[in-house]
Structure 1
Amino acid sequence: MQSIIITGGAGFIGSHVVRLFVNKYPDYHIINLDKLTYAGNLANLKDIEDKPNYTFVKGDICDYELILELMKKHNVTGIIHLAAESHVDRSIKDPFTFARTNVMGTLSMLQAAKT
Structure 2
Amino acid sequence: MRSIIITGGAGFIGSHVVRLFVNKYPDYRIINLDKLTYAGNLANLKDIEDRENYTFVKGDICDFELVMDLMKKYEVNGIIHLAAESHVDRSIKDPFTFARTNVMGTLTLLQAAKLYWESLPEK
Instruction: Tell me the TM-score range normalised by the shorter chain.
Output: over 0.9
Superposition pairs for residues 26-65 of structure 1, below 5 Å? 26-65=26-65
Number of residue pairs aligned between Structure 1 and Structure 2: 115
The answer on 1:79 being equivalent to 2:76 is no
- Scaled by the length of structure 2, the TM-score of the pair is 0.93
SS at match of 1:31: strand
Which portions of structure 1, spanning 4 or more consecutive aligned residues, are displaced by more than 2 angstroms?
A: none
CA displacement at 1:51 relative to structure 2: 0.2
SS at match of 1:76: coil
Letter paired with 2:89: D
Superposition pairs for residues 85-96 of structure 1, below 5 Å? 85-96=85-96
- Scaled by the length of structure 1, the TM-score of the pair is 0.99
SS at match of 2:85: coil
Letter paired with 1:82: L
SS at match of 2:77: strand
Q: Which has the larger radius of gyration?
A: 2
Letter paired with 1:60: D
CA distance in 2, matches of 1:12, 1:57: 17
SS at match of 1:6: strand
Among all aligned residue pairs of Structure 1 and Structure 2, give the percentage whose two residues are the same amino acid.
Answer: 88
Q: After superposition, give the CA deviation of every residue in 1:34-80 in whole Å (9 maximum; x if it has no partner).
A: 00000000000000000000000000000000000000000000000
Q: Structure 1 unaligned runs (5+)?
A: none
Q: Structure 2 unaligned runs (5+)?
A: 116-123
